[in-house]
Amino acid sequence: MFSKHTTGTAPTAALARRAALEQHLARTAEGGPSAIRERLIVLDREWTSGRMAKVTTGLTILAGLLLAVFVNPWFAVAPAVGGLLLVQYLFARRSWLGELFQRAGYRCGLQIEEERITLKALRGDYKHLPTLQDIEDRDAISRLEGEGGMVVEPDAAKIDPQEAVRQVVEVTHH
């Protein structure tokens, strides 16, 4: 939950953000399915700190190239700076520019996705999906029968693990 670069106040700040999110989600849930649907629409349009960092970097490169060609060759420094900003992603999942946008109020993609999944769960989107209790463990049944245990008749309610995964992936990746 916390980044590797935490300070003494980072866990406290993260807990405060989580408490605020829980209160916001509770208020949204009180509004019923229509409030959840509206919030999901807002989340679909929300820009992340990472997206802002990448767009800013791309615009810096593009503007620098155009200015270097049409105004002054010294503007070629801007694309180099933009390239250096992108090189940070070779060594870390986040950049200092992304952190800057996060401090400015943009959330990271993981925070938005956690809220989206929580809202969908509150709405009941996942209640029809198979769980581990619904998946047939053929190996365990074979071992039981091979050791002289009772013969287990196939349970119609049990689902093939591959099918269970397909259903869960289909629902959670929309």
Inside any domain, residue 11: no
- Which alpha helices (DSSP H) does 71-91 contain, by range? 77-91
> What confidence category does residue 3 fall into, taking pLDDT thresholds of 50, 70 and 90?
very low
What does the buried/exposed string (b/e) look like for 54-74 if buried means 16 or more CB atoms within 10 Å of the residue's CB? bebbeebbeebeebbeeeeee
Give CA–CA dist 155/135, Å, rounded.
10
Domain that includes residue 159, residue range: 128-174
Tell me if 134 is assigned to some domain.
Answer: yes
pLDDT tens, 66-115?
999 999 999 999 999 999 999 998 998 888 999 999 999 999 999 999 99
- Domain count of the chain? 1
173 inside domain: yes
- Has residue 158 been placed in a domain? yes
The answer to whether residue 157 sits within a structural domain is: yes
Residue 153 lies in a domain: yes
Is position 172 within any domain? yes
pTM above 0.85, yes or no: no
Asked if residue 174 has pLDDT above 70, the reply is: no
Q: What percent of the chain shows pLDDT beyond 70? A: 72
**151 lies in some domain:** yes
